[in-house]
Structure 1
């Protein structure tokens, strides 16, 4: 928790994108009406990506859902029928830089890192198939998703352990 409210808001919106994979422009335009019950009876985002004008359907993970609930009564969200009070990309990235400094993060922190985090850390490294990730992110080709898919050694180790179990004769 930061003592400066604008940093808390930027952190929340960044984390929302980490758990949904939405690009900045898509998070900014996301309407309340674009949250619907999905095939599983749980809440999903149903929105058209601005870049590709293709329908993106993303199940809401608990962290993303709690962020939505936090801003449910925010004046900007109510006035503009938006899900989140997203500021300009330039300010968002400037404040993310400030957050990185406060937290001792030496890497350049930009909003696009959230989308990358969704693809790698949140989904692929937790066993979600690359095809599912590509579909949620609305990549037209698996090759685009593979750019995000730097597989970590622990994931390789886990996958091979499963294979060892299947191949061993007991």
Structure 2
């Protein structure tokens, strides 16, 4: 909804009568959407994935920005990942540590939504930041909220 309002606001060109212009743009978008619903061939094909995106399993896609050099994986996160991999059935040596990884800023979900991370948002000024890196998850029947620092790709099982 916010994006639609923002897009319509950008399309308003005649500031002398902005409400009329805004309503005309809303009507125009409604007419286009109606035509697309009535004649599906009018709808353009799905866009291809962006350059340098990383396709993962089950419809997930890592999107730029990404770190082109590997970075040290924090020890606490490495231990948490080790516990998760053990739960998934991966057989890991006792001294396994994930030392380095590539960081990704965004994740395209199978439903088409894009999940953000704090990695690139933290570099921006606070007023320019749109805090969108918090997620809601459910573990053992308890709803919790968490902050996503970054996304990374790791193949668990063959």
TM-score by length of 2: 0.23
More helix by share: 1
- Higher radius of gyration, 1 or 2: 2
Higher-RCO chain (CA-CA 8 Å, sequence separation at least 6):
1
